[in-house]
Structure 1
Amino acid sequence: MPTLDLTSSADIVAGGDAVLAFTDLHVTFGTEFGDVHAVKGVTLEVHPGEVVALVGESGSGKSVTSTTALGLLPGNARVSGSVRVGDKIVGDLDPAALRKMRGNDIAMVFQEPMTALNPVLTIGDQLTEALQLHGLAYGSQAMARAAELLEMVGIPEPRRRLKQYPHELSGGQRQRVVIAMAISCDPRVIIADEPTTALDVTVQADILDLLRSLKDKLDTGILLITHNMGVVADMADRVAVMLKGDLVETGTAEQVLTNPQHEYTRRLLGAVPHLGEGSGQSDEGVRASVEKEKVDAAVPALELDNLVIEYHRLGKPPFRAVDDVSFTVGPGEIVGLVGESGSGKSTIGKCALGLIPAVSGAVRILGEDYGRLRRKQLKDLRRRIGVVFQDPAASINPRFPVGEAIAEPLAVHQVGDAASRKQRVMDLLDAVELPRSFYNRYPHELSGGQRQRVSIARALTLEPELLVADEPTSALDVSVQAAVLEMFLSLQSEFGFACLFVSHDLAVIDLLAHKVVVLQNGRIVEQGDRDTVLRTPREDYTKRLLAAAPVPDPIEQKLRREDRHRLLAELGDEIVELRVDPTSDPEPPAGRKTPGAEGGNPLGGAFHGG
């Protein structure tokens, strides 16, 4: 498949030869079912001080391509073509030379910091390990350097953090530690593999600010692997689009994102929800209409009144996860519940399902007070509630075929006979746009998007009046997410169920919700109609959330980033960036130690002391 290359020679970032170059790269995996050609002739370069975004959906070959640069492919991989890191050809290196190259010349920031960090070692031990292995610093000198690295990436009280374990840090702090480890040996190039996928939108914005300052101040080349087009618009100088192992389009970020030439790129961008465009961005404009008078007169589907939820811990005072929360979900209404991790969103959803008890306050579902119902009454009420969880692979029994998984609620509530249940499942497979042949398939035989459609079908089996959806699309590719959301809107219009939709993706909430409730630390900071909350927010916290959400347009995103920095300055918040010593050269050549570096300091005098 030919590559559409929109980049002129003037667009290539100046600063010398490429620090990372793939030339006609092919990667084939030998499996028991035959060979899988994962990467097909990819040619791509990353230059000093440049961010190249490698985008595409799951299975397109992005991570396999990047992994070849580190020499980390499994034994069943066959590689042809050339991969060059600096002046080294990766395929020509023996294991000892590969270990020396990793860290010194190239480093990686992984998607999930909790799997990249060793849970049984302190942060200090993990930061000093690379320094010691590469012979750059030892003992107290290495520990001082580790503290300096934490300070550089904006972690407060660095010396205290060195003694902590990964689980004692927040997600954003863990990702900053991983970035500190990546830059500890001053690599020429950093591969960032989905570095913000698991992070809240505000933490994501901070990490992107940090990566941007890293490439600006150290002249480091960055290969950014992501499927988030907002992140691409915020970070990338150039973009390369992959489809089934082929590189189908390359160009500057502005060229590719605002004027895509390849059909796949256009389809990918068309699937991305855009914050600020509301329900109009839905392709078919499918939306359940809510008549205000009817909603006001009818019994709410869900009503929370001064809800308080606490978690009790052995030997410690209880932790209050939800504090005095009150809102309603009207019939046929979608209410978006947003906030950062730990704000109490999922806890409220579980309480609404009767999975977590409330300490005080009331939860009324369809006019029934949850706390006053007996077991038989609770079972009858739960029949009127559906639930869609974030991870369908974990919420569907892997031993049940799809047909049995969807029919399970009918069996539990003893609805119908075998023939009527099978017919109901077939109708639901039609409704969620899955082939009826999937009835006898098992979950592992389905893709992530197909499994999530099965989860939605199961949630609708008993025709619920209230649906609780907890981050149902966050684990999906953008085109799969778009298809699932379009189907969700169509089903909501057809079945008329009310929905509490929990999400941290404000663009998805903008697409779906009639009303929005914003949570912070277990409390509601703002709630109201979608347009009111998302267009004219009153509270500083809501403004921070909205300002941090990226959009897939590089020109618009640059203005949004500048507006966010102004907002943070007005609110007295710190803008996260790499902290360098202003008395020294702020941009040492990539991959070269600063002149005068002494005492095992791999980045020389360009940085603060610890």
Structure 2
Amino acid sequence: MSSAEGPDTRTALRFEGVDVFFDAEFSEVHAVKGFSLEVKRGEVVALVGESGSGKSAIATAAMGLLPANARVAGRIQVGGTDVLGLDEARLRRMRASNIAMVFQEPMTALNPVLTVGDQLTEALELHGIAHGKAADRRAAELLGMVGIPDPHQRLRQYPHQFSGGQRQRIVIAMAISCGPRVIIADEPTTALDVTVQAEILDLLRELKDKLDTGILLITHNMGVVADLADRVAVMFQGRVVEAGTVRDVLTRPEHAYTRTLLAAVPHLGRSGPQAAALPAGGGVAGRDAAGGDAAAGETVRQPVLRARGLAVEYTARGRAFRAVEDISFEVAAGEILGLVGESGSGKSTIAKVVLGLLPVASGELMVHGQNLAALKGRSARAARARIGAVFQDPAASLNPRFPIGECIVEPMVVHGKGNRRSRAERAYDLLDAVRLPRSVVNRYPHELSGGQRQRVSIARALALDPELLVADEPTSALDVSVQAAVLEMFAELQSRYEFACLFVSHDLAVVDMLAHSVLVMRNGRTVEQGPAARVLHEPRQDYTRRLLAAAPVPEPGEQRRRREARRALLAEQPAP
């Protein structure tokens, strides 16, 4: 069939029998095997699978951005033009004008030393769409189209002067600036909190209808797939193992791998066993969520961590900015307190204060009755030895020059605990605890997968038998199946060692699965707190309801109802 007639006129992007090979040092890696897929204008096709399945290789092949050691066979067509036969000059013309890409981290796509206006007009002028004042007007129009307020004024601002969600909107504006037939969106919402994610998904849905643009959505978030996609293809070890409509694949999966992938996705509203285990009081011993007195005879828990009227300030250019104000909570042994809220709400600030990385401006922060803010020298060092930490990016928190065994026992070395033999035994015991083979003890962090590195981070956090563990977004960078395995292991370890845990996350489904109690924050203040089952299933505050309504679930019918309910809620109670 010719490209000038019939259904092919609606085809924005087509892959036919695509194979991608990479030349390695001693062999050739067959990363993508016989990949075939079609994206039509006005539709969203999701490509899902674990890291290493070949998703990103397909995206970069379509953009003509594969590295020099890559070889591609098959056909990739953008609007009827075969990408694989184009020289570099024609590839540059094709990008943006026919195909564009939205990346996971907007700051890697934006130049920090150029204004947003300069970056938008550069694309317009490069492709001959508009010049001079006409390009400025078009750039402002694009910013307005993606929901940036005061677009004419904000053209003169730099990327760092925008929020994360606004930066992603700017990247989307750049992607649509030249009217492409198809946009490849590679994990466009992974780094965003749930409310901003919902706004970006609404924006992509609106733009693809308005501009009649096809979208190839690459993601590991099944809730995002259920919310946005029309069709979905599941990749495993370089092959498409299942494809179909989003309803068929997500509700009636046929392939065993798809069923395994979906079974690993945490689902908001289906609480894990943790939620029922917390005594009434919701993380504030002796008081209910409304602040009333506990019932007579109720067991008073002994808190490991207690905050009372906690306030934290940042100082910039001689002026103090209060990032956290009047926060109170308690966490006892064997309990997990989930800290949730939008970016900038103060969650990570509280985690940093507990770890001693930021000072307390006012209020109390007590660990087993000791005021952390007042401790100095050896006393402060001894108190911090009782606190473990797990960070979001294990690759950044593990020393790349240390073998895994040394990474795990590093806290013991720092605090002068044990000798060489006892430390080695402790490393082996912790590798057993986090379900890693003992053989990895002499390997280096870069030789492990992301999930394995996060297990090492958890093992290191447990090296000193801490009474309190601070986990800041510990699974947000992991695939769903790896995340499920790490969370299962985390819950098992917490039950075995009975440490108190402060768990910071923007993934409400993960918090729902793990946490006993929840503290919802906004603009540095408490919005709502109490038992997880009550706060996440029967919220009392409008903000909590909006937060929960924005969290996608991996079932298309349910997600459509949630999206409609969210719109009704926002119309009734618009966010201030």
Give % identity.
Answer: 66
- The aligned counterpart of 1:547 is 549
- The aligned counterpart of 1:588 is none
1:210 matched to 2:207: no
1:572, CA displacement in angstroms? Answer: 3.0
1:249, CA displacement in angstroms? Answer: 0.6
The amino acid that maps onto 2:204 is L
After TM superposition, list the pairs within 5 Å mapping 1:438-449 onto structure 2. Answer: 438-449=440-451
- The aligned counterpart of 1:381 is 383
- Alpha carbons 1:288, 1:493 under 8 Å: kept: no
- The aligned counterpart of 1:309 is 312
- Structure 2: how far apart are the matches of 1:462 and 1:133? 58
Partner SS for 1:406:
helix
1:322 matched to 2:315: no
- Alpha carbons 2:278, 2:517 under 8 Å: kept: no
Q: Which shows bigger deviation, 187-196 or 292-301?
A: 292-301
- Gap regions ≥5 residues in structure 2: 1-5, 286-298
After TM superposition, list the pairs within 5 Å mapping 1:530-545 onto structure 2. Answer: 530-545=532-547
- Structure 2: how far apart are the matches of 1:563 and 1:298? 38
- Structure 1: how far apart are the matches of 2:255 and 2:404? 36
- The aligned counterpart of 2:250 is 257
1:14, CA displacement in angstroms? Answer: 7.2
1:101 matched to 2:89: no
1:298, CA displacement in angstroms? Answer: 3.8
After TM superposition, list the pairs within 5 Å mapping 1:11-22 onto structure 2. Answer: 16-22=9-15
1:426 matched to 2:428: yes
- Once the two structures are superposed, residues 406-428 of structure 1 have per-residue CA deviations (whole angstroms, 9 ceiling, x without a partner) of 11222223322222221111111
- The aligned counterpart of 1:186 is 179
- The aligned counterpart of 2:366 is 364
Q: 1:163 to 1:291 in 2, by over 3 A?
A: closer
After TM superposition, list the pairs within 5 Å mapping 1:73-152 onto structure 2. Answer: 73-152=66-145
- The aligned counterpart of 2:405 is 403
Q: 1:17 to 1:477 in 2, by over 3 A?
A: same
- The aligned counterpart of 2:45 is 52
After TM superposition, list the pairs within 5 Å mapping 1:591-606 onto structure 2. Answer: none
- Once the two structures are superposed, residues 496-537 of structure 1 have per-residue CA deviations (whole angstroms, 9 ceiling, x without a partner) of 111000111000000000000001011011100101110111
Q: 1:15 to 1:219 in 2, by over 3 A?
A: farther
- Structure 2: how far apart are the matches of 1:157 and 1:291? 49
- Structure 1: how far apart are the matches of 2:85 and 2:406? 53
- Structure 2: how far apart are the matches of 1:229 and 1:81? 29
TM-score, normalised on structure 1? 0.89
After TM superposition, list the pairs within 5 Å mapping 1:317-356 onto structure 2. Answer: 317-356=319-358
- The aligned counterpart of 1:23 is 16
Q: Which shows bigger deviation, 391-400 or 502-511?
A: 391-400
- Alpha carbons 1:288, 1:492 under 8 Å: kept: no
- Once the two structures are superposed, residues 113-168 of structure 1 have per-residue CA deviations (whole angstroms, 9 ceiling, x without a partner) of 11101111111111111111111110001100110111111110000110001110
- Once the two structures are superposed, residues 397-445 of structure 1 have per-residue CA deviations (whole angstroms, 9 ceiling, x without a partner) of 1111111111122222332222222111111110100001111111111
1:292, CA displacement in angstroms? Answer: 6.1
Q: Which shows bigger deviation, 54-63 or 365-374?
A: 365-374
- Structure 1: how far apart are the matches of 2:263 and 2:216? 24
- Alpha carbons 1:15, 1:48 under 8 Å: kept: no
The amino acid that maps onto 1:253 is V
- Structure 2: how far apart are the matches of 1:57 and 1:161? 38
- Structure 2: how far apart are the matches of 1:404 and 1:279? 34
- Alpha carbons 2:276, 2:533 under 8 Å: kept: no
- Alpha carbons 1:153, 1:210 under 8 Å: kept: yes
- Structure 1: how far apart are the matches of 2:348 and 2:250? 34
- Once the two structures are superposed, residues 302-336 of structure 1 have per-residue CA deviations (whole angstroms, 9 ceiling, x without a partner) of 10010111011124x21111111111112211000
- Alpha carbons 2:277, 2:516 under 8 Å: kept: no
- Alpha carbons 1:26, 1:79 under 8 Å: kept: yes
- Alpha carbons 1:288, 1:496 under 8 Å: kept: no
- The match for 1:154 among 141, 147, 151 is 147
**Paired residues, what number?**
556
1:289, CA displacement in angstroms? Answer: 4.3
1:69, CA displacement in angstroms? Answer: 1.4
- Alpha carbons 2:306, 2:366 under 8 Å: kept: yes
- Gap regions ≥5 residues in structure 1: 1-12, 281-285, 575-610
- Once the two structures are superposed, residues 57-101 of structure 1 have per-residue CA deviations (whole angstroms, 9 ceiling, x without a partner) of 111111111111111111111111000001211122222221221
1:544, CA displacement in angstroms? Answer: 1.1
- Structure 2: how far apart are the matches of 1:362 and 1:465? 19
Partner SS for 1:39:
strand
Partner SS for 1:46:
strand
- Structure 1: how far apart are the matches of 2:277 and 2:506? 24
1:164 matched to 2:157: yes
Q: Which shows bigger deviation, 543-552 or 374-383?
A: 374-383
- Structure 2: how far apart are the matches of 1:322 and 1:14? 57
The amino acid that maps onto 1:305 is R
Partner SS for 1:239:
strand
TM-score, normalised on structure 2? 0.94
- Structure 1: how far apart are the matches of 2:553 and 2:326? 33
Partner SS for 1:260:
coil
- Alpha carbons 1:299, 1:367 under 8 Å: kept: no
The amino acid that maps onto 2:255 is H
Q: 1:374 to 1:109 in 2, by over 3 A?
A: closer
- The match for 1:270 among 237, 247, 263 is 263
Q: Which shows bigger deviation, 298-307 or 266-275?
A: 298-307
1:569, CA displacement in angstroms? Answer: 0.5
- Structure 2: how far apart are the matches of 1:251 and 1:49? 17
- Structure 2: how far apart are the matches of 1:436 and 1:547? 44
- Alpha carbons 1:23, 1:81 under 8 Å: kept: yes
- Structure 1: how far apart are the matches of 2:203 and 2:19? 33
- Once the two structures are superposed, residues 273-323 of structure 1 have per-residue CA deviations (whole angstroms, 9 ceiling, x without a partner) of 00000115xxxxx889456699753431110010111011124x2111111
- Alpha carbons 2:275, 2:517 under 8 Å: kept: no
- The aligned counterpart of 2:290 is none
Provide the alpha-carbon RMSD of the alignment: 1.7
User: Using CA pairs below 8 Å that are at least 6 residues apart, which structure has the higher relative contact order?
Assistant: 1
The amino acid that maps onto 1:117 is L
- Structure 2: how far apart are the matches of 1:153 and 1:355? 37
- The aligned counterpart of 1:519 is 521
- Structure 1: how far apart are the matches of 2:7 and 2:350? 52
- Structure 1: how far apart are the matches of 2:10 and 2:366? 65
Partner SS for 2:11:
coil
- Structure 1: how far apart are the matches of 2:219 and 2:58? 13
The amino acid that maps onto 2:159 is P
The amino acid that maps onto 1:325 is I
Runs of 4+ in 1 over 3 A off after TM superposition: 13-17, 286-296
1:565, CA displacement in angstroms? Answer: 0.5
- The match for 2:220 among 217, 227, 241 is 227
Partner SS for 2:565:
helix
The amino acid that maps onto 1:299 is Q
Partner SS for 2:272:
helix
- The aligned counterpart of 2:294 is none
The amino acid that maps onto 2:384 is R
Partner SS for 1:120:
coil
